[in-house]
Amino acid sequence: MVVRYELTGMDLGEVRFAVSPLNELTLSLRSFRDPGRYPLHLPWLHEVDAARDELDSAALLALTNDLLWTPDLLTPRPTSPLTRVDEQLDALAAADPRALAAELAHLHDGRVPAALTGPPAAVLRRAVAALRGYWDACFAAHWPRLRALLEADVTHRARETVQHGSARMFAGLADGVRLADGVVEVRLRSPVEYTRSTAGDGLTLVPSVFCRRASTPVSAAEAPVLMYGARGVGTLWRPRRPPAPAALADLLGRTRAELLTELAAPASSTELAARRGVTVPAVNQHLRALRATGLLDSERHGRSVVYRRSELGDALVG
């Protein structure tokens, strides 16, 4: 089936990127329900396995079905690359409880699991509480790493648009996505089909580490959103501090050599500091030195700066 978003007057200024912590939290429930279909996330699942014993797992699993679909209400359109999960959860708590009840009924063909049956207001409170607990126990410590990868993807797409044009950028998001004659066409496996204009709402592109294919809202009444799989997910859960070659450590010093080795995949100074248990200014001092010598490239995205090795840095590590 196909969803078509008509860009008003071919105005690509209507297209914006955003990052959504609540979307990632919700979509990750797919890997909890069926981990075998998400092997790249097994290292994370093993790491948080003990914490899951303290969660409201019955409610969390009831937020997906056997097809791994989730309610649209739990994947709202983010407004910025800097969206905060607390803001999104507060907005969810203030939503119409009947909307979640209706989506759950549709999701489960009228057979909603017992954990999320009852008065709609109580169901909404339990769902929000379960998601907050899940974030605190399994997501908060890892969010800097996820956010850095998502922001790096946004930077890459923006650069590709400038260098090669919007049509190529859209085609690179996922199979079945294309821009032609002012229409963004998204081919889906789910039985969803509609055409709507982006006038007044724009089109928001949202990268995800838990979304392998292109995804849109099931209803044309929802604001236009296209979620797609972010680049680099295969490197996301690799060991956090790979050993630096001894010769490289002798040349640069142990800390800078380890940072340069680690930055084969993009990361922010905040994420690197969290991994190492040191302050951000301490990491920034080394990153600035490596960038000044041409071994690192950096891109600012909002309030974050994402670093990765330059070609010179790759050659030196190699």
Residue by residue, what is the 3-state secondary structure of 102-125? HHHHHHCCCCCCHHHCCCHHHHHH
Count of domains observed in the chain? 3
Q: At residue 104, what is the residue type?
A: L
User: d(Cα 239, Cα 285) in Å, to the nearest integer?
Assistant: 23
User: Which residues of the chain are modeled with pLDDT < 50?
Assistant: none
27 and 125 both lie in a single domain: yes
| DSSP state at residue 14 | G
What pLDDT digit, counting tens, does each position of 293-315 carry? 999 998 876 667 888 888 898 88
Do 202 and 15 touch, CB atoms closer than 8 A?
yes
63 and 130 both lie in a single domain: yes
Sequence-distant (6+) residues with CB within 8 A of 186 are 2, 3, 4, 5, 176, 177, 214, 216, 226
Sheet containing strand 296-301, edge to edge, reads: 267-268, 304-309, 296-301
Q: Which of 76, 110, 141 is the last residue of a domain?
A: 141
Q: Which of 167, 200, 234 is the last residue of a domain?
A: 234
Q: At residue 82, what is the residue type?
A: L
Q: Which two tokens stand for residue 265?
A: 């995949």
Element housing 23 (H / E)? helix 21-27
Do 268 and 144 touch, CB atoms closer than 8 A?
yes
Note the pLDDT of residue 306: 83
Sequence-distant (6+) residues with CB within 8 A of 23 are 75, 76, 78, 206, 208, 227
Note the pLDDT of residue 281: 86
Give the residue numbers spanning the domain of 292: 239-317
215 and 246 both lie in a single domain: no
262 and 221 both lie in a single domain: no
264 and 192 both lie in a single domain: no
47 and 187 both lie in a single domain: no
pTM for the whole thing? 0.77
| DSSP state at residue 51 | G
91 and 198 both lie in a single domain: no
162 and 122 both lie in a single domain: no
Q: Which of 194, 213, 234 is the last residue of a domain?
A: 234
Q: Which two tokens stand for residue 296?
A: 């690192």
Tell me, what CATH number does 310's domain have?
1.10.10.10
12 and 27 both lie in a single domain: no
Note the pLDDT of residue 240: 58
153 and 88 both lie in a single domain: no
Sequence-distant (6+) residues with CB within 8 A of 20 are 75, 76, 77, 78, 83, 88, 206
13 and 160 both lie in a single domain: yes
Note the pLDDT of residue 191: 81
Nearest to 27 by CA among 131, 153, 182: 131
218 and 283 both lie in a single domain: no
